Structure 1
Amino acid sequence: MGWVLAVCAGIALAMFPLYSLASNPTNIAININGTVTANAHCSFGSDDPIVVDFGDVYVSDLAAGGYRKEVPYTLTCKGEQKPDGRLVEMRFVGTRASFDDTALATNVRGLGIKIMLDGTTLSPGSWIAIDPNRPPKIEALVMKGANVTFYNGQKFTASITLTVDYV
């Protein structure tokens, strides 16, 4: 009878792993996703063109530098910055005024626009390092060339492209 008990115990132990395999486990799917950003990137607050409207400009006030307006823009930079600590660079590209290499041409001969970054003139096409966490104040300054005449009601426009990039 002892051997019958031993056989019954052996059969019970042999069935134990089968019992655990027959259990009904609960499963849940796990979705993992993300985006790898290898380089930092910057974006402006909008894809719409930035408009700076000077309204009426009096020729007598141009010589005094009285027409300066802030360029409204926002800049957001995200991602991994370069390990050597290089900052973001900014530049403006546009047609230079014929009477001043540091000014942008307008559609009116002898009238130009200087771009100022934190009060310093930025020549068209020149790169300048900026801190992306504290973007510079950008201003547009209307200026005139020497010996030019304007007529009342003359409208002016200028187009430039602002580029921001990690180098």
Structure 2
Amino acid sequence: MDARLHTLLTKYISVIAIIFFVIPFCFAVQTGDTLDLKIHGTLKRKPCHINNDGMIYIEFGNVGIKKIDGKRYIQDINYTLECEDPDDSANLKMTVKGAQTSYNTGAINTNIPGLGIGILQNGLPVIINQPFVIDYNSPPVLKAVPVASGVTLYEGAFNATATLLAEYE
């Protein structure tokens, strides 16, 4: 046999040996212990706290059924606003979150059908569940006022719930 042919045949057999014996080990299934990895945390953009994370209570007292006009019985929504590391370069937005009435986008539902509580920001209606830009150094004056849909209202205690949220955009 020619020396060149022998060298070529030896190289060819070596390549075949590598393909059949070495490569399958590259795809071998790994075995051993497994461990679940749980990672958690809270990602916040400069969190803000309203009323020191406490409840805000508004008491309307006795409200005359026939006197509800969206102006009478208005009450201040007294709150404090504190943001960690305020950022003048970012928009600070406030949102009144709640069940919006079907007849007034600026009012939240009460437990009395046809009676809502309108929310005003600096005298103008707030659209419930829609954020609005505020100035951290001069937070808006918020007020609440009973509003009616025009249906006949009946005597009874009323209540409503909403969430006031402030966050940087």
CA distance in 2, matches of 1:64, 1:103: 10
Q: Write out per-residue CA displacement over residues 115-159 of structure 1, whole angstroms, 9 at most, x where no aligned residue.
A: 1111111111111000011111110011111132322xx000000
* Structure 1 position 52 matched with structure 2 position 94: no
Structure 1: 5+ residue runs without aligned partners? Answer: 1-37
Whether the 8 Å CA contact 2:50–2:164 is kept in 1: the answer is no
* Structure 1 position 133 matched with structure 2 position 137: yes
Letter in 2 for 1:106: T
Q: Do the aligned partners of residues 58 and 87 (structure 1) sit closer, same or farther apart at CA in structure 2, a change above 3 Å counting?
A: same
Give the TM-score, by structure 1 length: 0.69
Whether the 8 Å CA contact 1:112–1:144 is kept in 2: the answer is yes
Whether the 8 Å CA contact 1:39–1:80 is kept in 2: the answer is no
Q: Write out per-residue CA displacement over residues 27-65 of structure 1, whole angstroms, 9 at most, x where no aligned residue.
A: xxxxxxxxxxx9533212322211000001012221262
Residue in 1 that maps onto 2:102: 98
CA distance in 2, matches of 1:47, 1:101: 26
Residue in 1 that maps onto 2:123: 119
CA distance in 1, matches of 2:118, 2:136: 22
Letter in 2 for 1:157: N
Structure 2: 5+ residue runs without aligned partners? Answer: 1-43
Q: Do the aligned partners of residues 138 and 61 (structure 1) sit closer, same or farther apart at CA in structure 2, a change above 3 Å counting?
A: same
Whether the 8 Å CA contact 1:61–1:67 is kept in 2: the answer is no
Residue in 1 that maps onto 2:87: 81
Q: Do the aligned partners of residues 136 and 157 (structure 1) sit closer, same or farther apart at CA in structure 2, a change above 3 Å counting?
A: same
Question: Number of matched residues?
Answer: 126
Q: Write out per-residue CA displacement over residues 61-118 of structure 1, whole angstroms, 9 at most, x where no aligned residue.
A: 2126201100110001231516xx2321000111111322321100000000111111
Q: Which structure: greater strand fraction?
A: 1
Q: Do the aligned partners of residues 42 and 61 (structure 1) sit closer, same or farther apart at CA in structure 2, a change above 3 Å counting?
A: same
Give the TM-score, by structure 2 length: 0.69
- Give the percent of matched residue pairs that are identical in Structure 1 and Structure 2: 27
Residue in 2 that maps onto 1:160: 162
Whether the 8 Å CA contact 1:39–1:81 is kept in 2: the answer is no
Q: Do the aligned partners of residues 90 and 80 (structure 1) sit closer, same or farther apart at CA in structure 2, a change above 3 Å counting?
A: closer
The farther-off stretch of 124-133 and 40-49 is: 40-49
Whether the 8 Å CA contact 1:71–1:140 is kept in 2: the answer is yes
